[in-house]
Amino acid sequence: MKMERYFIEDYYTGLTILDEDGYYTKYFNTIKEAENFLNSLMGHYNENDEDNFYIVKEIDGKRKPIEN
């Protein structure tokens, strides 16, 4: 069975969004969960701010960036 998960990275730094403890990457089970989190995150920025984040799909350790 393939392990599929999603996480969010910053375009400029390559850093991932961290979990609530701030130590580990915050992973999502579905792309919809990641999109909802990203949308809530962007709600904290002004509409003129640039979108610095993108979702990455990871299947069995192989990464595939998903451009919005």
Question: What would the pLDDT profile of 31-43 be if each residue is shown by its tens digit?
Answer: 999 999 988 877 6
Q: What is the C-alpha to C-alpha distance for residues 65 and 43, in angstroms, rounded to an integer? A: 22
Which of 53, 57, 49 has its CA nearest to residue 14?
Answer: 53
Q: CA–CA separation, 7 vs 35, rounded Å?
A: 10
**Residue 38's CB: how many other CB atoms inside 10 A?**
19
List the one residue out of 64, 68, 36 whose CA is nearest residue 52: 68
CA distance 47 to 20: 25
Q: Residues 10-31: pLDDT tens digits?
A: 988 989 999 989 999 999 999 9
The pLDDT of residue 29: 96
pTM of the model: 0.81
